[in-house]
Amino acid sequence: MSKKFTLVTGMLCCLLARVATAAEPDLSSPKAADKAYRTAENNADAAAMKAASVYDDAWEKVIDERINGSKAEQKLRKAVRDRWGEASKKAFPDPEIKDVPDAKEKIDGSTATLVYHGTVVERFKKVDGKWKVDLLTPISDMEMDSAKEQLKAAGYYKRAATRTAEMVIAGKCSPPADAHQALDEAYATEFNGVAAPSTRASAPTTRPAGQ
């Protein structure tokens, strides 16, 4: 067997393995698209997040910053686990992406909404037979739903999580509940003491309080 053949075969096997492990997100319904989008954010997977949404250049920046926030949160969780082990799970439970309880799908042709107790919390669009989170259609006419404000909110959380992780590593938080409070306070500080606006599709969340 030639070295060239072996090299080509090896590259092909790697490619096939990559394809086999890269699962396509479930975009069969608005609820499935919502879950796929949130799961991708939680996993800090920008490509999957973009695959599950309809966006433009402004919203792509929001997605990328949210991914940065997810990475900062992962570092915070690692710092907390390294310091307190299993004792940290009450204050920082393992992330779990679930369907939003009591949320109802309302489908109208190629568009849809996810309604939570009478309030629209997400919008969707059907593209090439797949449902995707529609970031281009505002949930409401409130300024906080704009890409500009959501980019700020994503940055606030990224910096708050990063600062809190640094405090945990430096031993400035004890016990885990203090780290949880420190995250809340760091996030509030980013808003200059003003309550943080909710993010799209943020009704019931599994993230630590404060995002």
Range(s) of the domain holding residue 41: 23-190
Instruction: Report d(CA 106, CA 115) in Å as an integer.
Output: 7
> What's the structural domain count of the chain?
1
Give domain status of residue 4, yes or no: no
β-pairing verdict for 53-54 and 130-134:
parallel
Give domain status of residue 92, yes or no: yes
Return the amino acid letter for 179. A
CA 52 vs CA 55, 185, 205: distances in Å: 10, 32, 19
pLDDT of the residue at 24: 81
More confidently predicted of 202 and 109: 109
Give domain status of residue 16, yes or no: no
Give domain status of residue 39, yes or no: yes
Q: What is the pTM of this model?
A: 0.79
Give domain status of residue 48, yes or no: yes
pLDDT of the residue at 143: 78
More confidently predicted of 138 and 3: 138
* pLDDT higher than threshold 60 for residue 17: no
- 2 pLDDT band, cuts 50/70/90, is very low
What average pLDDT does this structure show over 70-83?
Answer: 95
More confidently predicted of 151 and 22: 151
Give domain status of residue 209, yes or no: no
Instruction: Report d(CA 69, CA 57) in Å as an integer.
Output: 19
pLDDT of the residue at 23: 64
What average pLDDT does this structure show over 195-203?
Answer: 42
Give domain status of residue 126, yes or no: yes
Strands in the chain per DSSP E = 53-54, 103-108, 111-116, 119-127, 130-134
What average pLDDT does this structure show over 152-163?
Answer: 95
Give domain status of residue 10, yes or no: no
